Amino acid sequence: MTIKSLGASMAAMLLVSTLSVGCSNSAEKRAIRAEDAARRAEAAAARVEAAAQRAEAAAEKAERLFSKGMHK
């Protein structure tokens, strides 16, 4: 192996390692964004569940009040 080919192979290895670090960095960023999105979706689902429970309680209360008015 000559000095030129050794230098070229070293440059190629450096390029590959740089690209792989860049790809893993962007993959890590995408994973973090996905985790954040999952947390936001979970929080939104919890808010929807709470709203559904409040709506159900309000419907039950209205039904009780309506049934009392009908029996008078």
For residue range 9-50, list pLDDT tens digits in order: 767 776 666 666 666 678 888 888 999 999 899 999 999 999
Instruction: Write out the residue range of the structural domain in which residue 69 sits.
Output: 1-72
Residue type, 37: A
For residue range 21-31, list pLDDT tens digits in order: 666 678 888 88
pLDDT higher than threshold 80 for residue 65: yes
State pTM to two decimals: 0.55
Q: Considering its fold, how many domains does the chain have in total? A: 1
Q: Is 70 helix (H, G, I), strand (E, B) or coil?
A: helix
pLDDT higher than threshold 80 for residue 54: yes
- Map tokens 């390692």 to a residue: 17
d(CA 35, CA 65): 45
